[in-house]
Amino acid sequence: MHDYISSENDPELVETVSELLTNTRTLMIYLMSDDDDLRKYAKDRIKAGFCFLALNTQNGFVFFPSKFIGYKDNSMEKHEYFHNKKMDGTDTTGLINELLSSVHITENDGDCWTQFENQFISFCTELGIVPDNKKRKYWILT
């Protein structure tokens, strides 16, 4: 049994950018997995996301939802266990603002937001998903 399952503690928030990036790698592994359940899980997180970390890669931007990447050593199993109990994207938003020393880009940021929204939609199209109809926010890490 995992420590987080046997514990009554809340899930821990990440404390460093490195921990954020560890979680982005986890979601990328899920997206590239041969396991249909892992791929679907990652796509569902992206589809339903609201605030995203956009990472610039050789192949363009890749987007990761804050509600997943903002919790220490996150995984599908851990996220599902805590999801409806103690995980809240509001907790991760402020934390990521602090870690990246920036606030997210919103639709109030005009052309910059539009550029990232269009890239996000293209990213989703490549994944074969249609994102939920939401006003998304983005942090950019190049």
Domain ranges of the chain: 3-141
Q: What is the mean pLDDT of the chain?
A: 87
Q: Which of 24, 39, 43, 31 is nearest to 130 (CA)?
A: 43
pTM: 0.88
pLDDT reading at 61 higher than 70: yes
pLDDT reading at 41 higher than 80: yes
Instruction: Indicate left, alpha or beta for 125 from its phi (over 0: left) and psi (-120 to 50: alpha).
Output: alpha
Of the candidate ranges 1-5, 22-26, 32-36, 115-119, the one whose mean pLDDT is the lowest = 1-5
